[in-house]
């Protein structure tokens, strides 16, 4: 990847968002954070391009992170979308599967696993994008 990959981190707990920001900036990502679904939706609607979005599930309301995921999945090019939650249920997990969320991580998050997942998803996304351009 020639450019610095961009990442949006959405979590209503500022400390969690800041920690993830520091972790991913150390990995070479350009990171923006939002502390609410509303803030994330504003960033996504304002033409910011993100290679990946990591969002908490429960913020202003239960499962509202699915709204962030839904908005992100409508973008072109589509970012890799990761849900992070300590409150996974059959209902919200089934909704995430149906929406084709790329990854579901449960809190407490294993940071190495999360870094690997984001890196793999972005490589897969880049390769799939190149294949689509060829066709």
Q: Which helix (H) or strand (E) holds 65?
A: helix 65-73
30 vs 4: CA distance, rounded Å: 6
Q: How many CB atoms lie within 10 A of CB 43?
A: 18
Smaller CB separation from other proteins, 14 or 94: 94
CA angle (86 as vertex; 71, 83 as ends), nearest 5? 25
Smaller CB separation from other proteins, 91 or 133: 91
Q: Identify the residue among 14, 28, 48, 106 touching other proteins (CB under 8 A).
A: 106
Smaller CB separation from other proteins, 4 or 89: 89
Instruction: Please choose, out of 15-23, 30-38, 42-50, 84-92, the segment that lies near other proteins by the rule CB under 8 A.
Output: 84-92
59 vs 92: CA distance, rounded Å: 14
Residue 89 near other proteins by CB under 8 A? yes
| Span between the terminal Cα atoms of the chain, in Å | 21
Q: How far is the CB of 71 from other proteins (least distance, A)?
A: 16
Interface residues toward other proteins, by CB under 8 A? 88-91, 93-104, 106, 117, 124, 128, 131
């Amino acid at each position: 990847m020639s450019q610095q990959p961009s990442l949006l981190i959405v979590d209503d707990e500022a400390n969690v968002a800041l920690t993830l920001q520091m972790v991913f900036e150390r990995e070479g990502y350009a990171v923006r954070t939002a502390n609410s679904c509303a803030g994330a939706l504003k960033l996504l609607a304002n033409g910011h391009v993100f290679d990946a979005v990591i969002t908490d599930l429960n913020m202003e309301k239960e499962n509202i992170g699915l709204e962030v995921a839904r908005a992100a999945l409508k973008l072109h090019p589509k970012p890799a979308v990761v849900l992070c939650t300590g409150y996974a249920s059959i209902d919200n997990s089934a909704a995430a599967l149906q929406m084709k969320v790329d990854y579901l991580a449960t809190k407490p998050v294993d940071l190495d696993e999360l870094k690997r997942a984001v890196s793999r998803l972005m490589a897969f996304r880049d390769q799939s994008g190149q294949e689509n351009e060829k066709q």
